[in-house]
Amino acid sequence: MSPQTDTTATTPTHTWQLGDLTVNRVGFGAMRLTGTAPFDRGVPRDRERSIAVLRRAVELGANHIDTAAFYFSATRSANELINRALAPYPEDLVITTKVWPGRDASGAWWWATPAQLRDQVEENLRQLGRDHLDVVNLRVPPSRRPGSIAEHFGALAELRDAGLIRHLGVSNVTSEQLAEAMTISPVVCVQNPYGLGASDNDRALLRRCGELGLAFVPFFAIAGAGREAGPAARDGEAVCAVARAHGVSAAQVRLAWTLQQGPHVLAIPGTGDPDHLAQNMAVGRLRLSEDEMARLTSLEPAARSGPLAVGSGHVA
């Protein structure tokens, strides 16, 4: 069912800038294209279906695709699927990737040294079939929150100066780490977990990005505390009531709430299901009322299953 629009609301801004690149605020995350569960070695998704989903996402207006070289399962690579589906790439398509985490052929996680970041960047270039990357996010590991990221971010800045990268972003960072990165090189986006039940610190960082004119790109906006497991099996009554009022899914309500946190907030929901894709892409037309926003914002901070950890795959 199509989202109902709030015709009395001010027309939202539908695009934002990643440096000099204009993107639609509802994009696409590639993590779930590769398998029935992200980061596992289990049953891969149907290749042609994944390719069709990517092409349909672009047809529906997604010109911002988030990916990573470590998004792969037993026989599928998100980057290679993107290459197969979309190359030669549309001129307005922006592909964002991330480095610092890596996975070996067995699927085991490892973290790059500053000197190894070039290899990770070049791996993304090869898989995507490009001569430069639009945006590269430095994805900070759990053990470095808090802590200095200057050495790694400085290495990426050198690769930007060398022409391998157009713009830089940071991911899974604190406010202090963002400030540190900005003293080294321009930052165009922050990609952090964010959704209903966000903590005060999370909300403060989102607001700070708005003040700085930086894109804030939340992941797990639909999944919440469920993270890689996907949407929660059961949404609370507050979310379900809003969904019923608009004739949409609870996932669409979660995405709409996130987008309405500010015009600088982007969405990168991921799916391998064509029907879910259509719902995700339609959420840009869904406007929640001030009362609905207030009710959802008042929800208690989400309980988390533990710190982001390499072993559990929590690196996206």
In a domain, 239, yes or no: yes
Report DSSP state, residue 229.
Answer: G
In a domain, 182, yes or no: yes
Q: Which amino acid is at 307?
A: P
- Residue 74: per-residue pLDDT: 82
- Residue 12: per-residue pLDDT: 52
- Residue 124: per-residue pLDDT: 98
Q: Specify the DSSP element, H or E, that contains 133.
A: strand 133-139
- Residue 154: per-residue pLDDT: 98
Helix (H, G, I), strand (E, B) or coil at 242: helix
In a domain, 34, yes or no: yes
- Residue 11: per-residue pLDDT: 39
- Residue 316: per-residue pLDDT: 36
Alpha-carbon distance of 32 to 284, in angstroms, equals: 21
In a domain, 111, yes or no: yes
pTM (2 d.p.): 0.89
Alpha-carbon distance of 88 to 75, in angstroms, equals: 23
pLDDT tens-place values along the chain, 316 residues long: 334 333 333 335 699 999 999 999 999 999 999 875 556 655 667 899 999 999 999 999 999 999 999 999 888 899 999 999 999 999 999 999 999 999 998 889 999 999 999 999 999 999 999 999 999 999 999 889 889 999 999 999 999 999 999 999 999 999 999 999 999 999 999 999 999 999 999 999 999 999 999 999 999 788 654 444 444 545 688 999 999 999 999 999 999 999 999 999 999 999 999 999 999 999 999 999 999 999 999 986 654 443 333 333 334 3
CA angle (92, 94, 98) in 5-degree steps: 175
- Residue 168: per-residue pLDDT: 99
Tens digit of pLDDT for each residue in 52-96?
Answer: 999 999 999 999 999 999 999 888 899 999 999 999 999 999 999
Alpha-carbon distance of 66 to 14, in angstroms, equals: 18
Task: Please state, rounded to an integer, the average pLDDT across all residues of the chain.
Answer: 87
In a domain, 8, yes or no: no
**Based on the structure, what is the number of domains in the chain?**
1
φ/ψ region of 23 (left if φ > 0, alpha if ψ in -120 to 50, else beta) reads beta
CB 219, CB 192: distance < 8 Å: yes
In a domain, 316, yes or no: no
What's the burial of 88, exposed, middle or buried (CB within 10 Å: 0-12/13-18/19+)?
A: exposed
The residues annotated as belonging to the active site are 71
**Pick from 243, 253, 240, 232: nearest CA to 302:** 232
CATH number of the domain encompassing residue 46: 3.20.20.100
In a domain, 234, yes or no: yes
Task: Give 53's contacts (C-beta < 8 A, 6+ positions apart).
Answer: 33, 271, 272, 273, 274, 277
**Pick from 284, 220, 218: nearest CA to 248:** 284
CB 189, CB 135: distance < 8 Å: yes
**Pick from 52, 87, 61: nearest CA to 275:** 52
The encoded tokens of residue 167 equal 């713009």
Which residue range forms the structural domain that includes residue 278? 18-297
- Residue 240: per-residue pLDDT: 95
In a domain, 309, yes or no: no
- Buried b vs exposed e over 194-217: b needs ≥16 C-beta within 10 Å? bbbbbeeebeebbeebbeeebbbb
- Residue 15: per-residue pLDDT: 97
- Residue 42: per-residue pLDDT: 53
